[in-house]
Amino acid sequence: MSRLVVKVGGAVAFSATAQILALACEGHEVVVVHGAGPQILGRLQRAGLESEFVGGRRVTSAAALTVVRQTLATVNAGLCVALGPTAVGFLGDEIGLRARRLPELGHVGAPLPSRPDVIEGTLADGLLPVVAPLAVGPLNVNADEMAGALAAGLEAERILFLTDVPGLLVEGVVVPKIEVDDAEALLERGTLQGGILPKLRAAIAAARQGVEAEIGATAVVA
């Protein structure tokens, strides 16, 4: 039985349920990490709070953190309902996920590899853990990076980033495979923007830890 971490973005969280359940039905141990980008953006706008991103991470004030946490909890509960009775929801800060605070971004953290006992227990019971990307503090953590840290900590065989783009695009073409050194050079060139940045960073980190990493149709290999 292989262990998989599946990261789903807020834009595709509910449309990805069939794919997640299919993986579980194949006998894999599946851990789901979800984002809530569009939902958080909408709630922040309604609250009159601005959204700013640095390197794919959301700058998070104390006021914004309250909105982020509430939104993640709502999406987590909804995704668990959509996945069915085997899904068990967790907020990362409540199960001891940790991160190094990035004070220049406010209440934001860079996640550390983690192997929570509650996740191991949930998998042992044949259930499907669904994790919201928060760390002790609480700190807001980019969901891609949280998924990568969990994959490393849980010693997963694979991490899959399910997204609304087909994969890593270079000059408009999907790259089927990229070596981690080449991926890092691509990041350093500064030509990539937006949500692919944390995905690629997380995939590189996971691949260097021995985890097979896939961003859509793109394999990131060590």
- Asked about 10 being catalytic, the answer comes back as yes
Listed in sequence order, the residues at least 6 apart from 134 whose beta carbon sits closer than 8 Å to its beta carbon are 69, 72, 91, 92, 93, 94, 97, 140, 141
Annotated catalytic residue: which of 7, 93, 109, 195? 7
- 37 catalytic per annotation: yes
Residue among 56, 148, 195, 199 flagged as catalytic: 199
Is residue 96 part of the annotated active site? The answer reads no
Contact present, 212 and 157 (Cβ < 8 Å): yes
Choose the catalytic residue: 35, 92, 106, 144. Answer: 144
pLDDT of residue 190: 85
Three-state DSSP at 129 gives strand
Per CATH, is 3-221 categorized as 3.40.50.300? Answer: no
Marked catalytic residue, from 9, 10, 148, 167:
10
Instruction: Give the active site residue among 37, 89, 109, 167.
Output: 37
In angstroms and rounded to an integer, the radius of gyration of the C-alpha atoms of the chain is 16
Dump pLDDT digits (tens) for 168-185. Answer: 998 889 999 999 999 999
The pTM for the full model equals: 0.94
User: Which pLDDT score is estimated for 11?
Assistant: 79
Please confirm, yes or no, whether 55 is among the known catalytic residues.
Answer: no
Residues of the chain with pLDDT under 70: none
Whether 177 is catalytic: no
Question: What pLDDT does 10 receive?
Answer: 76
For residues 7 and 2, give the distance between their C-alpha atoms in angstroms, rounded to a whole number. Answer: 16
